[in-house]
């Protein structure tokens, strides 16, 4: 999967409530719901249901550290 494909997939989900699954180190998995709020050239921001802003890079999706379940 190419970065441009990932950017278009993320752009399609802007403003929609999605479930995100982030695979951290040492088998830690953080699952949360939120909305993609802003897109930048290298990163995008997610506003969670708890009103926390998280920032991810498109490469996080590329290497499957972050899964977007629409």
**Tens-digit pLDDT profile for the chain (70 aa)?**
799 999 999 999 999 999 999 998 888 999 999 999 999 999 999 999 999 999 999 999 999 999 998 7
Answer whether 0.85 is exceeded by the pTM: yes
Residue 10's domain comprises 3-69
Q: What is the pLDDT of residue 25?
A: 84
For the chain, report the end-to-end CA distance as a whole number of angstroms.
18
Q: What is the pLDDT of residue 24?
A: 86
CA distance readout (Å), 33 to 1, 2, 26, 41, 52 = 24, 25, 22, 23, 11
Q: What is the pLDDT of residue 70?
A: 72
Q: What is the CATH number of the domain that holds 20?
A: 2.30.30.100
Q: What is the pLDDT of residue 34?
A: 97
Domain count, the chain: 1
């Amino acid at each position: 999967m190419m970065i441009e494909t990932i950017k278009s997939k993320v752009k399609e989900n802007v403003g929609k409530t999605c479930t995100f699954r982030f695979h951290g180190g040492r088998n830690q998995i953080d699952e949360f719901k939120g909305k993609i709020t802003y897109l930048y050239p290298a990163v995008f921001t997610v506003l969670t249901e708890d009103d926390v802003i998280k920032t991810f890079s498109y490469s996080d999706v590329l290497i499957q550290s972050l899964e977007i379940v629409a």
